[in-house]
Amino acid sequence: MADLQSIKTRYGIIGNYPALNRALEKAVQVSPTDISVLVMGESGVGKEFIPKIIHAESRRKHQPYIVVNCGAIPEGTIDSELFGHEKGAFTGATSTRKGYFEVADGGTIFLDEVGELPLQTQVRLLRVLESGEFMKVGSSQIQKTNVRIVAATNVNMLNAINDGRFREDLYYRLNTVQIDMPALRERKGDIHLLFRKFAIDFAEKYRMPELILNDDAINYLENYPFPGNVRQLRNLVEQMTVVEQNRNINARKLSEYIPMQSQLPAVIQKGQGVSSNEFHSERDIMYKILFDMRNDLNDLKSLTSELIKNRGNGDLSSQEKSLINRVFTPEPQNPNPGSLMYFENGNHTTAQNPNLINSQNSPYEEVEDIEIEEAKPESLSLQNNERELIVRALEKHKGRRNRAADELGISQRTLYRKIKQYNLEE
């Protein structure tokens, strides 16, 4: 069995903490088996090393290794991507297509962000995991495949199960072995090592002298909570390598890039027993109340509309009719009549191509600093408050929509739609 140091060298993994070593050791240990593995950890902690190691250290290493980012594929096409489709299965299916499970026969599939899989896909996945059987979309012919699955998630799967967004049986099937990747803030001693490695890499890439940290700066980095983990550190070093004239970096310089006080309270206090499901300022609580009120209102509207449907329009007085018209007609300033759909359908909205808004692995590739917005004059319109609440939830969770949706108490699909509606895609 490959020893730990050679694994680290081979994959360019930096770090010496027991929790990291344990994760890597476990990956090597399970690699010769066909056991399903679930990798858990925050965004940017290096989860992707695990399926790579498992595949490359297994008998499957000469067979295909396919990475599927489940959160980035639109709900409408994911079954066909994974399992293939027959010609004519749906509009645009002009020829038969093989899915990843057929192509990867004999190899390994890495299902990244597995918590984002739609329920109907979860059913198909469970079947292929249990029996190796699947059917192309639009076909009734059973096919066989032999694929090893490694899945990863940064969402709390137990919450997802409780909310009915993830099947419990599938969770246990995927989670035969669980590998936890530690957050960077839990292995402070690795931070400087990682900084030096990235400083050397980027100095070479951009043909610049290497960045050097003074003691203050090292101390600053070790106390910074790194919500975006190693990915955030890597992006920081890349940015500074290119931008900074002076190669000697002190704490003040770092604070211009990653100011301590810009951290949202919940992030700083993470791990200190503060529930991430709570908002922390009075203003946040106000927004939450308003948002809940709006949800209640929506529920009332859909209830009323049900009642009206059951009773039949003919029985209504003209006063009732005009009231209904007023309540159910979208407000003129609403740019998207979709909110009416929201009232009618509750959370069950159609997918709006999440690919467009969720195609990046991490918000840190685009968002450099996270800053608390200065208090502005409050707007009393519900819509503005909803928009603001969504912005704040997204900021708080560094753009992780699944967590933001959890916090807001709405489904991810609804959140996607609202993000579009309010033009929050940037």
Ligand X SMILES: Nc1ncnc2c1ncn2[C@@H]1O[C@H](COP(=O)(O)OP(=O)(O)O)[C@@H](O)[C@H]1O
Asked if residue 74 lies in contact with residue 118, where contact means CB atoms within 8 angstroms, the answer is: no
Q: Which of 151, 155, 150 is nearest to 43 (CA)?
A: 155
- The stretch near ligand X (CB under 6 A) out of 45-53, 81-89, 165-173, 401-409 is 45-53
Strands (E), 333-424: none
| Phi-psi sector, 44: left (phi>0), alpha (psi -120 to 50), beta | left
Beta carbon nearer to ligand X, 111 or 389? 111
Of 26, 47, 397, 413, the residue at the interface with ligand X (CB under 6 A) is: 47
Residue 203 contact, options ligand X, Mg ion, none, Cβ 5-8 Å cut-off depending on partner type: none
Is there binding between residue 185 and ligand X (CB under 6 A)?
no
Is there binding between residue 44 and ligand X (CB under 6 A)?
yes
Is there binding between residue 234 and ligand X (CB under 6 A)?
yes
- The stretch near ligand X (CB under 6 A) out of 43-51, 206-214, 246-254, 324-332 is 43-51
| Start-to-end CA span in the chain (Å) | 46
| Residues facing 133 on adjacent strands | 144
**Strand pairing of 212-213 and 177-180?**
unpaired
> By Cβ distance, which residue is nearest to ligand X?
46
Tell me 112's DSSP state.
E
| Phi-psi sector, 46: left (phi>0), alpha (psi -120 to 50), beta | left
In this structure, the number of other CB atoms found within 10 A of the CB of residue 47 comes to 25
Q: Is the dihedral of CA 281, 282, 283, 284 positive or negative?
A: positive
Burial profile 266-293: b = 16 or more Cβ within 10 angstroms, e = fewer: bbbebeeeeeeeebeeeebeebbebbee
Site for ligand X in 193-222 (CB under 6 A): 194
The least distance separating ligand X from the CB of residue 60, rounded to whole angstroms, comes to 20
The least distance separating ligand X from the CB of residue 250, rounded to whole angstroms, comes to 24
Tell me 327's DSSP state.
H
- The stretch near ligand X (CB under 6 A) out of 41-49, 90-98, 132-140, 237-245 is 41-49
The least distance separating ligand X from the CB of residue 45, rounded to whole angstroms, comes to 4
The least distance separating ligand X from the CB of residue 345, rounded to whole angstroms, comes to 32
Asked if residue 175 lies in contact with residue 160, where contact means CB atoms within 8 angstroms, the answer is: no
Beta carbon nearer to Mg ion, 367 or 408? 367
Beta carbon nearer to ligand X, 90 or 206? 206
Is there binding between residue 230 and ligand X (CB under 6 A)?
yes
- The stretch near ligand X (CB under 6 A) out of 12-20, 78-86, 397-405, 408-416 is 12-20
The least distance separating Mg ion from the CB of residue 43, rounded to whole angstroms, comes to 7
Q: Which helix (H) or strand (E) segment is 144 a member of?
A: strand 142-144
Which strands sit side by side in the sheet containing 65-69, from one edge to the other? 65-69, 108-112, 148-153, 37-40, 177-180
User: Where do contacts with Mg ion occur on this chain (CB under 5 A)?
Assistant: 48, 361
Residue 101 contact, options Mg ion, ligand X, none, Cβ 5-8 Å cut-off depending on partner type: none
Q: Which helix (H) or strand (E) segment is 103 a member of?
A: helix 100-103
Residue 228 contact, options ligand X, Mg ion, none, Cβ 5-8 Å cut-off depending on partner type: none
User: Radius of gyration (Cα) for the chain, nearest Å?
Assistant: 25
- Residues 355-394, mask of contacts with ligand X (x by CB under 6 A): ------xx--------------------------------
The least distance separating ligand X from the CB of residue 329, rounded to whole angstroms, comes to 44
In the complex, the residues that contact ligand X under the rule CB under 6 A are 12-15, 41, 43-49, 194, 230-231, 234, 361-362
